Structure 1
Amino acid sequence: MHIKKIYTTKEMFWWTRFETMLFFFIITFWVSIYYFFELNWLKIPWTPLALIGTAVAFVIGFQNNAAYGRIWEARKIWGGIVNTSRTFGVYVQDMVNNEYAEEDWDEADLQKEIKTLTYRHIAWMNALRHAMRMPKPWETTVKHKTNQEWGARPPELDTNLEDDLKPYISDADYQHVINKSNKPTALLYLQSHHLRALKESGVIWEFSFLQLEDIIQELFSLQGKSERIKNFPYPRHFATLNHFFMWIFVLLLPFALVPQFASIGNDVLVNNPQVGKFFIWLAIPFYVIVAWIFHTMERIGRTGENPFEGTANDVPISTIARGIEIDLRQNLGESHDKIPKQFEIKLHTQF
């Protein structure tokens, strides 16, 4: 089970407070010059602005759907890693035995092989989560001031891959893997070679070997799917233009909204002079609300484009990987004091 950041209404406004203050200053500026300098000619009709707003709404909706699709696909991939890892763990424990061996192995030697295979799988998960946290040029959401304010960071930023690999693999395996550009792939190669060697010694039955190789193949497939999302960003022309379109709409909106409130104020002025005189200032809260909605929806889409970037709303791959490790090591019979704890929850966020 994992917990992600759930924004309350208060936190959502705090998350977007800088942009909200900017919207307030923009509309206050336009209302002030319209009110004090009586610039009745400074306006645009609603029709073209409504067309722009409709187009922006469609593009934002498309972006949010695409971003959610990327997040959901990434979560399904890592859910598959959970299930496949558990299957691998139980297969290794039950299929590495003396049933078909030409010469019986000591039970201690069998348990050593089981532990080596299990630990190497844990190393693979650690290598994969580190690979997914490697920064890409298009991953800029995490650098936003309000995203950094939560004070929570993915653990991959506070540890290095070398330290997370050494406890789980031999020195020979470490030297073999550390020089490879794709370390998760190198670890799966070692797993396959190890399984073949055990099959040739008779410790793994040939049919069992094929089943375990199917697990390795599935892990390759899940790794490739995860790498596809990581290495292929949401198309930048969609993301960039959508951002520009949103700001064009937000900056043009006062030219139609302020004159509209001024016109309503003139109508009210006939029956209620005090209200009618200051009615134009009501454009400020209405503009801020409309601009905030458009901007926040667009920003939510941008936040969800890269589900492995390391923000509070990404897929919690570190927590998932650590949870699998805990399950595997507990089922190896290790004591609780030797098994690492789950990563700490910070501000209701797990990575």
Structure 2
Amino acid sequence: MHIKKTYSAFEMIMWTRFETFFFLVLISIFVSIYYFFGLEWLRIPWTPLALIGTAVAFVIGFQNNAAYGRIWEARKIWGGIVNTSRTLGMYLQDMVTNEYSQSPVDDKDLKFEIKNITYRHIAWMTVLRHSMRMPKPWETTYNHKTNKEWDTKPPERESNLQDDLKPYLSKEDLDYIADKNNKQTALIYLQSHHLRELKEKGILWEFSFLELEGLLQELLSLQGKSERIKNFPYPRQFATLNYYFMWIFVLMLPLALIPQFAEIGSEIASDHEWLGSVFVWFCIPFYVLVAWIFHTMERIGRTGENPFEGTPNDVPISTIARGIEIDLRQNMGESLENIPEQFPVKYHTQF
């Protein structure tokens, strides 16, 4: 699984500390009521609760597998964008030539055409990553307090799309996509129109034109797959019910766990009276551990449902897109000082 933030034990504890404190307070209240007020009737049989716990564990496992599948598919899609982009850059440099041109143009003009198409492709990736970072109503993980406290915002939340596009697009291209709802698709259309013009001028051989059009088709396909994951959430009936089932189990667990420890304490009391009388308090750390495991596993699955939301565990599409840009511009011969640097890593996290 492509996870960018390597959680240490301390970081995982900090990530779930509010819920862990709630579990500690909850079980302490239950044990205090049981111990000081002698409410031994405040109990439920262990067997039905164990069955509920087993069912919840299965549902959480299903959710985590589904979330992993969405993250892995998203990573493969953007891996495809990496490969197709590199192929596009290579093809442009070797296919946009005067070899079949009836009216040859200067090498400077050829490089200008290659640069325009390459920059428009970089603009396409910029628009696509901004589109993938647009908040959706079902994307709530980013707003969780412990996800925001490390100030790990993706670059798209700190910049404006229009400003990000200006270095790559002409005024005509910017005007063309300004009123389009799907700007990334509009840019692919512009790419196709541009390639057709080069073919008509003889700068691009017909076979080369078809090869490049095939790459545009592949980019459109990858774009559509990425948009499908973004726009179709993990089914809410699974995600919501799983969340409620987990909390039902966690809140009912003290009513079965405390009597079990009390019975063990009664058996110990025959040999060690004091230890047996306070043994019920030992259920506190055990309950906190069990509740923490169930809650954390459910939250991990919930965090992985939306791989483009912009949290530390999502697919690093900003870093991927910037890496492609650096590769393309370096291979066009641009100097390093003119190429933007890779987005910085924050708290061991790439975006």
Q: Same fold (TM over 0.5)?
A: yes
Aligned to 1:30: 30
User: Are the equivalent residues in 2 in contact too, given 1:3–1:350 (CA < 8 A)?
Assistant: no
- 1:6 & 1:304 partners in 2: Cα distance? 15
**Residue identity matched to 1:89:** G
- 1:301 & 1:183 partners in 2: Cα distance? 32
Identity %: 72
User: Are the equivalent residues in 2 in contact too, given 1:3–1:348 (CA < 8 A)?
Assistant: no
State the number of aligned residues: 350
User: Are the equivalent residues in 1 in contact too, given 2:93–2:114 (CA < 8 A)?
Assistant: yes
1:121 aligns with 2:126: no
User: Are the equivalent residues in 1 in contact too, given 2:24–2:288 (CA < 8 A)?
Assistant: yes
Aligned to 1:64: 64
- 1:157 & 1:284 partners in 2: Cα distance? 42
1:199 aligns with 2:199: yes
- 2:222 & 2:337 partners in 1: Cα distance? 31
Aligned to 2:210: 210
Aligned to 1:269: 269
With normalisation by structure 1, the TM-score equals 0.99
**2:159 counterpart SS class:** coil
1:54 aligns with 2:74: no
**1:180 counterpart SS class:** coil
Equivalent positions of 1:136-151 (< 5 A) are 136-151=136-151
Aligned to 1:298: 298
Which stretches of structure 1, 4 residues or more, deviate above 6 A after TM superposition? none
- 1:102 & 1:305 partners in 2: Cα distance? 55
Equivalent positions of 1:214-253 (< 5 A) are 214-253=214-253
Aligned to 1:94: 94
**Residue identity matched to 1:86:** R
**1:327 counterpart SS class:** helix
**Residue identity matched to 1:210:** L
- 1:88 & 1:146 partners in 2: Cα distance? 41
**Residue identity matched to 2:330:** Q
- 2:286 & 2:19 partners in 1: Cα distance? 15
Aligned to 2:316: 316
Aligned to 2:186: 186
> How far is the alpha carbon of 1:4 from its aligned partner?
1.1
Aligned to 2:105: 105
User: Are the equivalent residues in 1 in contact too, given 2:44–2:256 (CA < 8 A)?
Assistant: yes
User: Are the equivalent residues in 1 in contact too, given 2:15–2:146 (CA < 8 A)?
Assistant: yes
> How far is the alpha carbon of 1:3 from its aligned partner?
7.6
Deviations 1:248-302 (A, max 9, x none): 0000000000010011101100100111011000010000000000000000000
Question: What RMSD over aligned residues (CA atoms) do the two structures have, in Å?
Answer: 0.8
User: Are the equivalent residues in 1 in contact too, given 2:3–2:314 (CA < 8 A)?
Assistant: no
Deviations 1:22-61 (A, max 9, x none): 0001100000000001111111111110110010000000
- 2:93 & 2:256 partners in 1: Cα distance? 70
> How far is the alpha carbon of 1:186 from its aligned partner?
0.3
1:340 aligns with 2:340: yes
**Residue identity matched to 1:115:** K
**Residue identity matched to 2:110:** L
> How far is the alpha carbon of 1:142 from its aligned partner?
0.3
Deviations 1:102-141 (A, max 9, x none): 1111110000000000000000000000000000000000
Aligned to 1:164: 164
Which 5+ residue runs of structure 2 have no aligned equivalent?
Answer: none
- 1:210 & 1:322 partners in 2: Cα distance? 27
- 2:167 & 2:192 partners in 1: Cα distance? 20
> How far is the alpha carbon of 1:151 from its aligned partner?
1.4
- 2:39 & 2:336 partners in 1: Cα distance? 74
Aligned to 2:130: 130
- 2:46 & 2:202 partners in 1: Cα distance? 79
**Residue identity matched to 1:191:** Q
- 1:26 & 1:298 partners in 2: Cα distance? 19
1:257 aligns with 2:257: yes
**Residue identity matched to 1:233:** P
- 1:202 & 1:144 partners in 2: Cα distance? 56
Aligned to 1:79: 79
User: Are the equivalent residues in 1 in contact too, given 2:81–2:219 (CA < 8 A)?
Assistant: yes
User: Are the equivalent residues in 1 in contact too, given 2:3–2:313 (CA < 8 A)?
Assistant: no
- 2:284 & 2:265 partners in 1: Cα distance? 14
**Residue identity matched to 1:41:** W
- 1:209 & 1:342 partners in 2: Cα distance? 32
- 1:239 & 1:149 partners in 2: Cα distance? 25
User: Are the equivalent residues in 1 in contact too, given 2:139–2:306 (CA < 8 A)?
Assistant: yes
- 2:284 & 2:262 partners in 1: Cα distance? 12
- 1:249 & 1:4 partners in 2: Cα distance? 31
User: Are the equivalent residues in 2 in contact too, given 1:127–1:161 (CA < 8 A)?
Assistant: yes
> How far is the alpha carbon of 1:179 from its aligned partner?
1.2
- 1:82 & 1:275 partners in 2: Cα distance? 64
- 1:97 & 1:74 partners in 2: Cα distance? 36
**1:271 counterpart SS class:** coil
